[in-house]
Structure 1
Amino acid sequence: MATAAPSAASRIAVITGASSGIGAATARQLAAAGYRVVLTARRKDRIEALAEELTRAGHSAVAYQLDVTDRTAVDEFATAFETVGVLVNNAGGALGADPVATGDPAQWRAMYETNVLGTLNITQALLPKLEASGDGVVVVVSSTAGFSTYEGGAGYVAAKHGEHVLAETLRLEIVGRPVRVVEVAPGMVKTEEFALTRFAGDQEKAAKVYAGVAEPLSADDVADTITWAVTRPSHVNIDLLVVRPRAQASNSKVHREQ
C-alpha cells in the first residue's frame, strides 16, 4: 500500500540523539519521506554537518543542540513549535557491563536519566504540539533489553524496561487523542559508537559484541523500520515492533560463525 505524503501540519519530525547511528539514519530516511527534520543532540558539530548534508540533497533539515536530560533546555526548545508531527525518542545508550554486585551506581543513574527521563522530558514538552498537529506520532526506540535480561546488563535492562513501560502507559493514557505511540525495540545493532561508548572506548571489548555475527542489524535497518511505522495510515498504530538480525534468537542466543 502506498503511503501518502505527510500533511503540512504534521510534517515536522524531531529526532533526538541524531548525531550518529540510528538517530542520524532515521533523520535521513524521514527527510527522504517528506518530513522537515529537526536534528537534536549534544554534539552540535555532528548535527550541523548532517543538516547541511540533507539540505544539499534538497531536503528540509535544521540542527538544534539539546541535552534531553536538561528539562529547562527541553522546555525552551519546545517553544519553537506550534505543531510537531513526529517525535523520535532515540537518545539513550548503555554504559558498562558489570554485574549487579559491582555495578557503578553513577552509570545506572546516567542510563536512567538519558533513556527514561530524557524520553519523559521531551515527550511531555512536545505532546501538546503533537496533538495540535491532528496526526502526531511518538516513537520510542527501546531495545530487546527491555524484555529479557542478561548477565552484566541489569542497569541497561532496567532503563530500557522503564522506557518500554513509559510508552505502554502513555498509549493507554492518551487513547482517543490524535497521537499514536509506537515502540521499536531493536536487538543486536552494529553502529560506530554504541558498543564503544558502553565499554569506554575499549575497541577489543566492543568488537567481541559482534564477533562471528555475519550480519547484525545496521542503523539503516532500524531507521527503515521506524520510518515504515511512522508512515502507516493515521488509524494504524504499530504498538510494538521487535526487530533482530536473523542470527539472534534472543538476547542470550546468537549464532556466531567460527
Structure 2
Amino acid sequence: MKTVLITGATSGIGAAAARRFVAGGWRVVATGRRADRLDALAHELGRDALLPLVFDIRDAAARDGAMDGLAGEWAAIDLLLNNAGLALGTAPAQGATLADWTTMIDTNVVALAALTHRLLPGLIARRGAIVNLSSVAATYPYAGGNVYGATKAFVRQLSLGLRADLAGTGVRVTSIEPGMVETEFTAVRTGSRDASDTLYAGAAPMTGEDIAETIWWVATLPPHLNINALELMPVSQSFAGFAVARR
C-alpha cells in the first residue's frame, strides 16, 4: 500500500484528493489548520486510512515537528502533493497590502519549498513522486494577480528544476496548473461568499473532484512516464486578453 502526504486537505482540491486516494487504496497523511475539518475527514474515511496532522504550513517548528512525529507506514511517503496555497486580495500592486503579499509568499513558496526539501531524501529512496499545485496564473498574468501569479510561477519553475535535478533517481515531478475551479479559493481571496458565487455563476467551472481525478491519473501512470506540466481549464474559460490604457 502506498502513502500520499497532502497539504491543505481541509477543503477543495485537497479534501477531494484525500477521498480519491483513499478510494484507490492508498494511505493519506492529511495536513491543514482546521482541526474540525481534518477530524471529520478522518472519521469519514477511517483513521486506518487517513492520518490528520493539524498545523499551519507556514509554521516551521510545527511543520518539522509533525514530520518528525510520523512513524512506521505513515512515514513512508510515496507521493508529496503540495496543494496548500492561497490568494489574498484582488487590488492592483499599488493598492495591495504587504501583509497579503508576505502571506502568499510564505505559504505558496517558502512552506512548499521547505516541505519538499524535507521529504526529498525519502522520496528518492522510494522512487516516489511530487505533484505541485500551480495555476494558469503562472503563465497568464491578469490585473490584480501580481504576487499570487508570481508565487505560482515559482511553483511551476521549481517543479521543472526539480525534474532536471532528479533525473536518474526515478522520482517523478509534475506541475498541475488549473484555471477556474469552484472551491473556497475565491471566498478566501475576497472575504466574500457573494463574490465567490458571482464569479462562478453560469461558468460551469471545474470542481475539486475534477482536479483530484487528474492528480490520481498522474500519480498512477506507469513509473517510466512523467507529466512535466499539465494546464487545464473549464471549456468556458480562455486566456486573458491584452489590455490597452487609453488617454
Please give the TM-score of this superposition, normalised by the length of structure 2. 0.92
Alpha-carbon distance, 1:129 to partner? 1.5
Instruction: Work out whether 1:206 is the aligned partner of 2:192.
Output: no
1:68-83 matches, within 5 Å, as 68-79=57-68, 80-81=70-71, 82-83=75-76
1:92-115 CA deviation, whole Å, 9 max, x = no partner? 011000001111111011011111
Partner of 2:169: 177
Partner of 2:245: none
Alpha-carbon distance, 1:207 to partner? 2.4
How large is the RMSD of aligned CA atoms in angstroms?
1.6
Q: In 1, distance between residues paired with 2:241 and 2:33? A: 32
Is contact 2:155-2:175 (8 Å) kept? no
Is contact 1:141-1:183 (8 Å) kept? yes
SS of corresponding position for 1:38: strand
Amino acid paired to 1:222: I
Question: Could you tell me the percent identity over the aligned residues?
Answer: 40
SS of corresponding position for 1:62: strand
Partner of 1:186: 178
SS of corresponding position for 1:222: helix
Structure-2 change in CA distance of 1:251 and 1:42 (3 Å): farther
Q: In 1, distance between residues paired with 2:213 and 2:109? A: 23
Partner of 1:111: 104
Q: 2:234 aligns with which of 245, 251, 258?
A: 245
SS of corresponding position for 1:249: coil
Is contact 2:206-2:234 (8 Å) kept? yes
Amino acid paired to 1:163: V
Deviation >4 Å, runs of 4+: none
Is contact 1:144-1:251 (8 Å) kept? no
Is contact 2:78-2:128 (8 Å) kept? yes
Alpha-carbon distance, 1:212 to partner? 3.1
Q: In 1, distance between residues paired with 2:102 and 2:56? A: 16
Q: In 2, distance between residues paired with 1:252 and 1:132? A: 45
Is contact 1:96-1:199 (8 Å) kept? yes
Q: In 2, distance between residues paired with 1:252 and 1:205? A: 22
Partner of 1:225: 214
Amino acid paired to 1:123: T
Which residues of structure 1 form unaligned runs of 5+? 1-7, 254-258
1:16-95 matches, within 5 Å, as 16-55=7-46, 60-79=49-68, 80-81=70-71, 82-95=75-88
Q: 2:116 aligns with which of 105, 123, 129?
A: 123
Q: In 1, distance between residues paired with 2:213 and 2:6? A: 14
1:177-222 CA deviation, whole Å, 9 max, x = no partner? 121111111100011x11110002x233222322331x10000000
1:43-99 CA deviation, whole Å, 9 max, x = no partner? 11111110110118xx71111112221222222222325421011000001100000
Please give the TM-score of this superposition, normalised by the length of structure 1. 0.88
Partner of 1:167: 159
The number of aligned residues is 238
Partner of 2:150: 158
